[in-house]
Structures are given as structure tokens and as C-alpha cells.
């Protein structure tokens, strides 16, 4: 029996608790960064694009060397704790930001968010590698679906309460945001504590020594030989570019007075209804993935997510925007769940961290340029043109996922006919 089964119940229980504090640490501040930047710190459209792009630049700088380092380590839990703790420290710094004297708080907010995104993707990558190690493959879809339902519910409540509280104060007041950044920091400390209590299973090698560490060039050659992963990576890049280019557009569209002009309460409602939909759908998508496979569910949920920019083109009514986010949340649940599981299906276990980092690196590179492209299209043409192009690229990416799946099935058929 897989040694991971010995501690499975313990790891599920503590892992879910760690996930609760992780999502608290995220949802107490993250949904409100755009409104903080725009209405408190008076960020420009270009700065809103940099708020999406600059963190991606810092994130990718850490991924590849971090993954090579991680593949050397038997104790993946410790390095995950260190990177997540480093990321949470920036929440404390941002919480104190309005106390400093500055003429350009938007610049410093963007800078600190970007610096926070140096250790944060590493922590996420290391956590993914740790989960792949401590949760057996046959249990993974069910365990992650249950975890996602719990964390989504907690995140929804955290966002709702935060939005209600902040909306009771003048929208240009900074200190309510400071309070929630500091609460997010405390939640991050508890996240790291419960992560430290997970039981990590260390494999026993026949020679009693660590497995050899491949040099970077050898690892890259190994990635290139995994054609299934390369094709999937290409499709994922296409989809993510279309997904990411709309992120600053959504922020501007929802918050800016030229469009929907939401306050903190309505912005929290967008997140809440999206989370409610995800929480309701995680279990169903997990069952469908077990029945039909992660590949098919990724295509279906990707097509659903591609509808989001098209629907935004049709309205600037706040109630309609909230309703759209409920609908799209149903598909987001399937996509984010099966995207991770699909990667785990495709990567070799002995180099899981490096392969996951390659995907994160490619997505991160896309995230540098896609938001800038989205804002450039918006400024040169119109918001609706940006939404249309984003939705079209997303749809192409979803169909590309389908082509990868068909290619896999054809390869399997050829293999069977050749035996």
C-alpha cells in the first residue's frame, strides 16, 4: 500500500484547516486591491495594467530555479512553509503603507504586491508538489473537491464581511483596508502553522541516497520528450492569454465611474456569488471528472469561462454583472479543479515540481503581456473590443485543450493497434 495512506486522514483534516486559513489570508484583501488602487490611491489605467503584469514578472523569476531546488529535497513541507511565510510578511508591510509619506501610494502598492509575488508562486508550486506527494492519486480528485468546497465557502464569507464593513466607510478612506491587510497577515501565520503539522512521507531509495538531480538542460530535454505535456502547455498558454488579458479590464469596468462604478459592497458581492457557484459546483465537477476524465471536463469548463467577456459586453447593470459572475463561477470551479489534476496526470512523478513550474512559468510569462495587451486594446479601441478579443482567444484555447485530448486518444489507439 502507498505509504501516503498511513497519514491520509490526518493530512486531509489538517490540510483542510490549513486551506481555510490560506483562503482567509487571500480573501480578506485580494478582491479589494483594485478598489484600493483606484479609489483610495487614484491609480491610472496603465497602473492598473501593471498591477496585473508586474507581479507576474517577479513570480516567474523564482519559478524555474525554485523548482530545480525543490526536486532535490525530500522535505518539501519545510521549504513550502518558508516561502508562504515570506509572502505573508508583505501583507503586514502593505497594511502599514498609508502611514508612510508618499505622493504616489499606487506605485508603492504595485511594487509591494509585485515583491510579494516573488515567494507566493513558489509557495503555491511547492504546495502542489507536496499535495501530489501526500495525497494518493486515486484519492486526489475527491479530496481536492471537498477541500475546495470548504475553502470556497470560507472565502465567500470572508469577502462578504469585508465588503460590508469597508462599504460603511467613505470609499477614499485607507484605514479600513489596512485593518483587513493585517488580519490577512495573521491568518497567513495560522496557515503556515497548520501546514507545519502535515505528515510528509519520505520515499526509501534502494541505495539509501537521494535520487540524482538532473541539470537544467537535461530537465528541459525531458520536458520536450513529454509530447503530451508540451501540447497541453501550448493549449494552456493560449487559453491563459485570453483569460489574463481581461483581468484589468474587469477591474476597470466594475470599479471605474465610467462604467459600473461598484463600491466595496458590490465588489464583494461579485466575489461572493462567484464563490457560491463554485462551492455548489466543485463536487459535481469532481464526479464528472471521475466519470469522463479531467481532459473532457477541462474543455467544457473552458468553453463556459470563455463566455464571460461576451456577457460583460451586453450590460453595465450592477445586478446583471453579479448574475453573470454566478453563472461563470459554475464553470470556474470545473476549470481550476481539473486544470491542476490534469497537470498531475501528465507529469512524471519524479520531476513533478519541475514540470509544474514550467507550466507556471509559461502562464506567468503570459501574465506579463496579456494584461498590458488588454489595456492597450481598450485604450486604442473600446472596452467591448477588448472583451470580444479576450473571449475569442479563450474559446480558441478551450478548443485547443480538446485537440490535445483527441491527439492523446489517437496515440493510445495507435499504440494498441501496434501491439
Residue 61: is it exposed, middle or buried by C-beta count within 10 angstroms (0-12/13-18/19+)? middle
Q: Report the C-alpha gap between 229 and 351 in whole angstroms.
A: 13
| Predicted pLDDT of residue 360 | 85
Query: Does residue 206 sit within a domain?
Result: no
pLDDT in tens, 192-235: 999 999 888 765 544 444 444 446 777 778 888 889 999 999 99
Among residues 55, 127, 3, the alpha carbon closest in space to that of 365 is found at: 55
List C-alpha distances in Å: 52 to 55, 87, 244, 371, 375.
Answer: 6, 17, 8, 6, 11
Q: Report the C-alpha gap between 86 and 108 in whole angstroms.
A: 18
Q: By the 8 A CB rule, do 171 and 35 touch?
A: yes
Q: Please tell me the total number of residues recorded for the chain in this structure.
A: 419
306, HSE (Cβ side, Cα atoms, 13 Å): 23
Among residues 162, 173, 49, the alpha carbon closest in space to that of 114 is found at: 49
Query: Does residue 329 sit within a domain?
Result: yes
Query: Does residue 351 sit within a domain?
Result: yes
391, HSE (Cβ side, Cα atoms, 13 Å): 17
| Predicted pLDDT of residue 239 | 98
Q: Report the C-alpha gap between 41 and 369 in whole angstroms.
A: 24
| Predicted pLDDT of residue 70 | 65
Query: Does residue 204 sit within a domain?
Result: no
Helix (H, G, I), strand (E, B) or coil at 33: helix
Query: Does residue 209 sit within a domain?
Result: no
Element at 100 (helix H, strand E):
none
Q: Report the C-alpha gap between 284 and 329 in whole angstroms.
A: 13
| Predicted pLDDT of residue 209 | 43
Q: Report the C-alpha gap between 51 and 109 in whole angstroms.
A: 8
Among residues 356, 362, 357, the alpha carbon closest in space to that of 341 is found at: 356
Q: By the 8 A CB rule, do 308 and 411 touch?
A: no
Tell me how many degrees the CA angle 52-57-63 measures, rounded to the nearest 5: 120
Q: Report the C-alpha gap between 261 and 162 in whole angstroms.
A: 18
Q: Which residues contact 75 (CB under 8 A, 6 or more apart)?
A: 200, 202
Q: Report the C-alpha gap between 195 and 189 in whole angstroms.
A: 10
Element at 208 (helix H, strand E):
none
Q: Report the C-alpha gap between 221 and 160 in whole angstroms.
A: 47
| Predicted pLDDT of residue 64 | 67
Q: By the 8 A CB rule, do 393 and 241 touch?
A: yes
Q: By the 8 A CB rule, do 297 and 288 touch?
A: yes
Domain of residue 323, residue span: 3-198+215-417
Q: Which residues contact 376 (CB under 8 A, 6 or more apart)?
A: none
Does the pTM exceed 0.85?
A: no
Query: Does residue 203 sit within a domain?
Result: no
| Predicted pLDDT of residue 71 | 62
Q: What is the CATH number of the domain that holds 396?
A: 1.20.1250.20
Q: Report the C-alpha gap between 59 and 122 in whole angstroms.
A: 8
| Predicted pLDDT of residue 206 | 42
Residue 387 corresponds to which cell in the numbers above?
A: 472583451
Domain count, the chain: 1
Query: Does residue 68 sit within a domain?
Result: yes
Element at 79 (helix H, strand E):
helix 76-95
pLDDT tens over the chain, length 419 residues: 456 677 788 888 998 999 999 999 999 999 889 889 988 888 888 898 888 888 888 888 877 677 667 666 667 788 889 999 999 999 999 999 888 877 788 999 999 999 998 888 888 888 887 887 788 877 877 888 888 889 988 988 998 899 899 989 887 888 999 999 999 999 999 999 999 998 887 655 444 444 444 467 777 788 888 899 999 999 999 999 999 999 999 989 998 888 999 988 898 899 889 988 988 898 899 889 889 999 999 999 999 999 999 999 999 999 999 999 999 999 999 999 899 889 988 888 877 778 888 898 899 889 889 999 999 999 999 999 999 999 999 999 999 999 999 998 888 787 666 55
Please report where in the chains the cell 490549513 appears, as a residue: 18
Q: Report the C-alpha gap between 323 and 312 in whole angstroms.
A: 11
Amino acid at each position: 500500500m502507498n505509504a501516503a495512506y498511513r497519514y491520509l486522514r490526518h493530512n486531509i483534516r489538517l490540510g483542510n484547516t490549513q486551506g481555510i486559513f490560506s483562503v482567509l489570508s487571500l480573501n480578506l484583501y485580494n478582491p479589494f486591491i483594485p478598489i484600493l488602487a483606484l479609489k483610495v490611491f487614484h491609480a491610472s489605467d496603465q497602473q492598473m495594467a501593471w498591477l496585473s503584469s508586474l507581479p507576474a514578472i517577479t513570480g516567474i523569476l523564482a519559478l524555474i530555479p525554485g523548482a530545480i531546488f525543490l526536486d532535490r529535497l525530500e522535505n518539501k513541507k519545510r521549504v513550502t512553509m518558508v516561502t508562504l511565510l515570506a509572502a505573508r510578511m508583505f501583507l503586514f508591510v502593505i497594511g502599514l503603507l498609508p502611514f508612510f509619506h508618499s505622493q504616489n501610494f499606487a506605485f508603492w502598492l504595485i511594487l509591494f504586491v509585485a515583491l510579494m509575488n516573488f515567494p507566493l508562486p513558489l509557495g503555491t508550486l511547492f504546495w502542489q508538489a507536496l499535495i501530489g506527494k501526500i495525497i494518493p492519486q486515486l484519492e486526489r480528485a475527491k479530496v481536492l473537491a471537498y477541500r475546495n468546497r470548504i475553502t470556497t465557502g470560507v472565502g465567500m464569507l470572508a469577502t462578504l464581511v469585508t465588503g460590508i464593513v469597508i462599504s460603511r466607510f467613505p470609499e477614499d478612506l485607507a484605514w479600513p483596508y489596512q485593518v483587513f491587510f493585517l488580519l490577512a497577515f495573521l491568518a497567513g501565520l495560522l496557515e503556515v502553522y497548520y501546514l507545519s503539522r502535515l505528515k510528509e512521507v519520505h520515499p526509501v531509495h534502494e541505495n539509501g541516497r537521494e535520487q540524482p538531480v538532473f541539470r537544467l538542460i537535461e530537465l528541459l530535454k525531458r520536458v520536450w520528450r513529454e509530447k503530451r505535456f508540451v501540447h497541453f502547455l501550448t493549449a494552456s498558454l493560449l487559453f491563459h492569454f485570453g483569460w489574463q488579458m481581461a483581468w484589468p479590464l474587469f477591474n476597470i469596468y466594475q470599479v471605474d465611474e465610467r462604467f459600473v462604478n461598484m463600491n466595496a459592497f458590490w465588489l464583494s458581492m461579485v466575489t461572493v456569488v462567484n464563490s457560491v457557484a463554485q462551492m455548489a459546483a466543485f463536487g459535481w465537477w469532481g464526479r464528472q471528472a471521475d466519470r469522463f476524465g479531467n481532459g473532457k471536463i477541462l474543455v467544457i469548463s473552458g468553453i463556459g469561462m470563455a463566455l464571460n467577456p461576451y456577457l460583460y459586453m451586453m450590460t453595465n447593470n450592477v445586478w446583471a454583472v453579479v448574475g453573470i459572475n454566478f453563472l461563470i463561477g459554475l464553470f470556474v470551479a470545473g476549470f481550476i479543479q481539473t486544470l491542476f489534476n490534469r497537470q498531475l496526470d501528465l507529469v512524471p512523478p519524479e520531476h513533478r515540481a519541475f514540470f509544474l513550474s514550467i507550466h507556471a512559468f509559461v502562464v506567468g510569462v503570459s501574465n506579463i503581456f496579456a494584461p498590458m495587451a488588454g489595456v492597450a486594446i481598450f485604450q486604442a479601441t473600446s472596452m467591448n473590443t477588448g472583451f470580444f478579443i479576450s473571449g475569442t482567444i479563450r474559446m480558441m484555447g478551450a478548443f485547443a485543450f480538446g485537440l490535445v485530448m483527441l491527439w492523446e486518444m489517437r496515440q493510445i489507439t495507435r499504440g494498441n493497434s501496434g501491439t
